[in-house]
Each structure stands twice: as structure tokens, then as C-alpha cells.
Homo-oligomer: A and B are copies of this chain.
Amino acid sequence: MSQSATVNRRYVLAQSPKGEPDASTFRLETVAVPTPGPGQMLLRTTWLSLDPYMRVRIYETDGYMASVKPGEVMVGGTVSEVVASNHPDYKVGELVHSYAGWQDYTLSDGSDVIIKLPANAKQPSMYLGSLGMPGFTAWYALNQIGHPKNGETFVVAAATGAVGQIIGQLAKLAGCHVVGIAGGADKCAYAVKELGFDACIDHRGAGLPERLKAACPKGIDIYMENVGGPVFDAVLPLMNLNSRMPLCGLVAHYSGAGMNGADRLPGFLTEALFKRMKLEGFIIFDQYPAHYANFLAAMTQPIESGAVKIREHVVGSLEEAPQGFTELLAGGNFGKVVVKVA
């Protein structure tokens, strides 16, 4: 079933998963397309973003962002077309980036619109990736927390993912020795040959700590922490004096895996003290008011010109979104995951 002018397909949360999300997590519903009231517009989703943070939003937890409740439409960033408008600032045919979620249509009064896309936007789906949340995450983490210096060593995991591919290239432009970590030889080859990383380590093989150490002969000055798990353990002993660790995601920990075994917290805190490390957690959604416009001003030209390369992993339809999401969490994607809804 493809997009229709009269039916709104939407995925709601069926139940909060206990461990990994699976086929029982989401439920497809079809309802009528709503009609905009005064001051409202009707948005039709053309692209939907799939991102690791969504996993946290479907747990029964607090402290991060409001959880999606069972029966509610699943959250997600979108690029949408204005298809009807009673709003003075939006015309039919314009594209906006908002958070319409996993569905074809939504009403908006404009308050949820992150940005109206420029009329000459080269590739609208970029606003879900390199020019959207993941690219903004990369740019913010590197420049506002990492503060890279020429000659320092920078390490990022999920190196060909939405954030990793961008931040690695930016660190390279800042003069860093850039080492990626990724799952599989094809991703590693891509990181080195296409993205220009100095090295990329396959975390799937044996001896990750030794291979990472060999790739970082001068230790690690900045580690972009976005995966947690065994990669974190391999990185920690290599962190240099006065090193920095922006912390924006912990995919390997989200489901509660690895919670048993020896207590690594005292060792971590001791390393943080001895190495004079700075660890800073951030949620990029906090930073839009202060920094997003600056990010777009700095990055639109490098991204659109191809000076900073991007790779998308396109999921072909809205119905494939649940499967695409579980693949993303398992590292099955190769590039920024976007769903072609229309």
C-alpha cells in the first residue's frame, strides 16, 4: 500500500519492549486524513528519519524525554510537504522539517516546525541527516565539547552511521588523526577510502583493544561516545591526559545488556581522575534554539557541495519502517537511515 490522498497510515506504539523491539512493538493503523482548521496546515510526509534515540523514547523511563505511550503515534523527524494551508506563513508545495512521526499526514500550527526547507534545497532528506539532527549532533559535539586541536587523535564508533560519518570528516578537517570503529570490512573500507579516515577498526573481529591501540599510537584525545559496550572498554585505557568524551548515545546499553559482571564504575572514575578527562552528556534537542542556525550556516555549503560526503541508507516504504528500525539498532544499516514515505 502506497501513500494515498485520503488514508493516513500511522504506526503507533503497541507496547513498550522489555528488551529489543520486535514485531509486537509497533502496530499499523489506518485512519482518515484530517482537515486543517483555522491557522493550521496539513503536512504530508515524504521522508521519515530512523534514529537510535527512538529506542529510548519507547521505554517506560523518565529523565530523557517524554516516553511514547502505547497507542500514541511513534515519534520521528520528517520532511513533509504542505498540501493544504490555512497558515499565513506556509504555502502549498513548500517543504518543512518537523517531527510528524511515523505516519503519512499530520496537522500543524507551525509550532512544531524545526525549519522550512530552502526552495533550492539540493536533497530534502539531508535535513534528516547531515543537515538535520545527526549532523547537528556531530558538529555540536566536536566543536562545543571536543574542541579538537591539530594533531590530536579522534575516535568515533558507528563510523559510517549518521553521526559518525559527519563527525569523522569534520575532525579530519580540524587536523585530527581520525580513527573509526565500524561493523564489517565494507564499512571500514568506506570510512577510509571514501570518508578519508586515517584508519577504521572492525569491532566484529577479535582483539579489538589491541587493534585500536595500534591505530592510535599517540593515544586518544577525543572519543565521541555514541555506542557504549565493548568499544567503550577498549577506548578507555587509551584516553590521554586532558582528553574529552562527548556523550550522546549508548546504543549497546539501551536495552540493559551488559549490566552484570565486574563493576567497572570505580575503574572508570579513577581513569577520569588520573587522565583529567572531561565527560559531557548532551541531548541535541536542547541545543536547537542556541546553535542550529549557526550549524546550518556553517555546514550547508560543505554538505551540498560534497566537500563533506554523506551516505544514506534508504528504506523503501513506511511499512518497512519497523524492520528498518530493528536493523538500525543491530547495526545493519550502512549510512543514515531514512524512510522514503512518498
Contacts and interface: CB of A to CB of B under 8 A. Distances in A.
A196 interface: no
B268 A274 contact: no
Contacts of A279: 272, 277-280
The oligomer's copy count stands at 2
Interface in A269-317: 269-283, 286
Interface string A146-190: 000000000000000000000000000000000000000000000
Interface of A: 63-64, 225, 228, 232, 247-250, 253, 256, 258-283, 286
A225 to B, nearest CB: 8
A250 B269 contact: yes
B269 A253 contact: yes
26 contacts: A63-B271, A64-B274, A228-B266, A228-B269, A232-B269, A248-B273, A250-B269, A253-B269, A253-B270, A258-B263, A258-B266, A259-B267, A260-B262, A260-B263, A262-B263, A263-B265, A264-B265, A265-B268, A269-B281, A273-B281, A274-B281, A274-B283, A275-B281, A276-B281, A277-B280, A278-B280
Instruction: Please indicate which of the listed interface residues A264, A270, A286 has the most CB atoms of chain B within 10 Å of its own CB.
Output: A270
Contacts of A261: 263
A140 B227 CA distance: 32
A286 B280 CA distance: 21
Contacts of A263: 258-265
B283 A273 contact: yes
